[in-house]
Amino acid sequence: MEALETFLALFREGRYFEAHEALEEAWQRARGEERRFLQGLILLAAALHQEAEGRNGLRNLRKAEARLQGLFSPYLGLDWRPLLEEARRRLGA
């Protein structure tokens, strides 16, 4: 999925708002487990975007964890666990 590749590249560059936006359209079309997965990634990016702006992103981090819980990693070819661990580390969770 091209949107996931774009998301990952932007996430790795620290461009969290843009990473979030890269998945928005795919998330709106997705259903079921795939939708839950994409929403989890969007929430991860939102949490780190908030942190970068000096706000507390822990609420979005917790929501992301809830969406991603129980999914395999990699999922749809994306190894999401390192992204979650990075967010936890950066937010002190």
> Residue 48 sits in a domain of what CATH number?
1.10.3450.10
User: What total number of domains does the chain contain?
Assistant: 1
Residue 85 CB contacts under 8 Å (≥ 6 apart), including other chains: none
* Model confidence, pTM: 0.94
- Identify which of 10, 93, 4, 90 has the alpha carbon closest to the alpha carbon of residue 53: 90
Cβ-contact 47, 64 below 8 angstroms: yes
Range of the domain at 55: 2-91
Q: What is the pLDDT of residues 34-69, one digit of tens each?
A: 999 999 999 999 999 999 998 999 999 999 999 999
Sign for the pseudo-dihedral over CA of 76, 43, 28, 11: negative
